[in-house]
C-alpha cells in the first residue's frame, strides 16, 4: 500500500448519510478492504446500547462500552470496530450536513476525543430518535419529502450529540473567540500542513496576530502554535510510516519537506526515536 486509503461516502450514499443498526454483535459484512486501516471523507458516529467494542485510531486503542457515544473525524486513520455482542447504531455523515455550531464542539479538541457516557435518559432519547430515523431512512426515497425528513431527524441527533460533548468538555455553545480560533486553526492546519509550517503564516491566514493566536491556543490547550504544528506533522508522518510503504524520503516530500534530513531531525526531536526505528518498532 503506497498511501492510506480514503473511503468516500458518496460511493455508498447519495443523501450524505449511511445508517446501520447492529444487534448482538451482528455487524454488516464488508469486504476485506473495508476492514483495513483507512481514513474517511466524512464523520462516523457510534451509539452503543449494550456490549462493548474497540477500534485503533491514530495509534490509540479506544474502547467503547454500553451507553457510550463516540465519533471519528474525517482525517483520523482507523480500522473497523471490533466488537462483542454489541447492540447499537452506526452513522456515516457527510461533513456538509453537520451544522457549524455542532462542528465547533466535535472539532474543538486538538487531541483525540474520548467516548461520552450517556445518562439513561440521553441513551433512550438517542435510541428512539435513531430508530425513527432508521425507519424513515429505509422508506421510499422517491417521496418528495424523503430527504428533508431524514436530514431534519439527523440534525436532531447531531444537536443531542453536540450537547453531550459540550457539557462533557465544559464548552459554551456560543463559543468564545479563543475556542473559535482554536477550531479554525485546527481545520487550517489539517488543510495547509504540507504547505505551511510557520506560526506567523497561520496567524496571517486567520487574520490575527501571531501573539494572539499563541495566547488563544495556550488558553484552550496549554500549548503554543508551534507545538501543534509539529504534533500534526509527526502524527501524519507516523500514519504514513505505519500504514504505507513510502520511504522516509518520500514521506518527507509528501509532507512538504525538500530536505528529508531536516524532516528526520524534527521527527527524532519530537518522538525521541528515528523514523526508521518507529516503523520497525510498530510493525513488529
pLDDT tens column, 117-143: 999 999 999 999 999 999 999 998 888
pLDDT at position 259 is 92
The Cα 54–Cα 42 span in angstroms is 20
The SS3 assignment for 78 reads: strand
Output the pLDDT for position 170: 46
Among residues 33, 26, 38, the alpha carbon closest in space to that of 79 is found at: 38
Q: Regarding predicted confidence, which is higher, 35 or 88?
A: 88
Arithmetic mean of pLDDT, 231-256:
90
Q: What is the pLDDT of residue 171?
A: 46
- pLDDT above 70 covers what percent of the chain? 89
For the segment 254-280, the average pLDDT, to the nearest whole number, is 91
Where do the domains of the chain lie, and which CATH numbers do they carry? 6-169 (2.60.120.280), 177-282 (1.10.10.60)
Q: SS3 of 16, please?
A: coil
| DSSP character string of 214-273 | HHHHHHHHSS-HHHHHHHHHHHHHHHHHHH----HHHHHHHTT-S-HHHHHHHHHHHHSS
263: pLDDT confidence band, cut at 50, 70 and 90?
A: very high
- Taking 70 as the threshold, does the pLDDT of residue 283 lie above it? no
Average pLDDT over residues 75-79: 82
pLDDT, averaged across the chain: 85
C-alpha atoms less than 13 angstroms from C-alpha of 171 in its C-beta half-sphere: 28
Cβ within 8 Å of residue 214, ≥6 positions away: 199, 224, 225
pTM over 0.75, yes/no: no
- Report which listed range, 34-38, 108-112, 155-159, 242-246, is most confident: 155-159
Separation CA 250–CA 276 (nearest Å): 13
Amino acid at each position: 500500500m503506497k498511501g492510506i486509503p480514503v473511503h468516500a461516502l458518496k460511493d455508498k450514499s447519495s443523501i450524505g448519510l449511511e445508517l446501520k443498526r447492529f444487534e448482538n454483535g451482528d455487524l454488516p459484512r464488508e469486504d476485506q478492504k473495508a476492514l483495513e486501516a483507512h481514513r474517511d471523507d466524512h464523520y462516523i458516529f457510534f451509539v452503543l446500547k449494550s456490549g462493548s467494542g474497540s477500534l485503533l485510531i491514530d495509534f490509540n486503542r479506544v474502547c467503547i462500552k454500553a451507553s457510550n457515544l463516540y465519533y471519528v473525524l474525517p482525517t483520523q486513520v482507523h480500522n473497523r470496530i471490533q466488537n462483542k455482542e454489541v447492540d447499537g447504531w452506526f452513522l456515516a455523515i457527510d461533513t456538509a450536513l453537520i451544522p457549524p455550531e455542532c462542528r465547533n464542539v466535535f472539532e474543538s479538541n486538538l487531541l483525540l476525543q474520548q467516548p461520552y457516557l450517556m445518562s439513561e435518559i440521553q441513551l433512550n432519547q438517542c435510541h428512539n430518535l435513531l430508530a425513527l430515523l432508521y425507519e424513515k431512512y429505509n422508506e421510499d426515497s422517491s417521496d418528495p419529502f424523503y430527504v428533508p425528513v431524514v436530514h431534519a431527524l439527523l440534525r436532531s441527533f447531531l444537536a443531542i450529540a453536540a450537547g453531550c460533548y459540550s457539557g462533557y468538555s465544559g464548552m459554551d455553545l456560543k463559543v468564545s473567540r479563543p475556542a473559535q480560533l482554536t477550531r479554525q486553526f485546527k481545520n487550517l492546519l489539517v488543510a495547509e500542513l504540507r504547505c505551511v509550517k510557520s506560526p506567523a503564516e497561520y496567524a496571517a491566514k486567520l487574520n490575527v496576530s501571531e501573539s494572539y493566536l499563541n495566547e488563544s491556543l495556550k488558553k484552550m490547550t496549554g500549548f503554543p502554535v508551534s507545538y501543534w504544528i509539529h504534533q500534526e506533522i509527526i502524527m501524519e508522518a507516523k500514519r504514513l510510516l505505519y500504514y504505507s510503504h513510502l520511504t522516509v524520503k518520500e514521506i518527507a516530500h509528501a509532507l512538504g519537506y525538500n530536505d528529508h534530513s531536516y524532516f528526520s531531525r524534527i521527527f527524532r526531536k519530537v518522538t525521541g526515536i528515528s523514523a526508521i526505528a518507529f516503523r520497525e518498532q510498530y510493525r513488529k
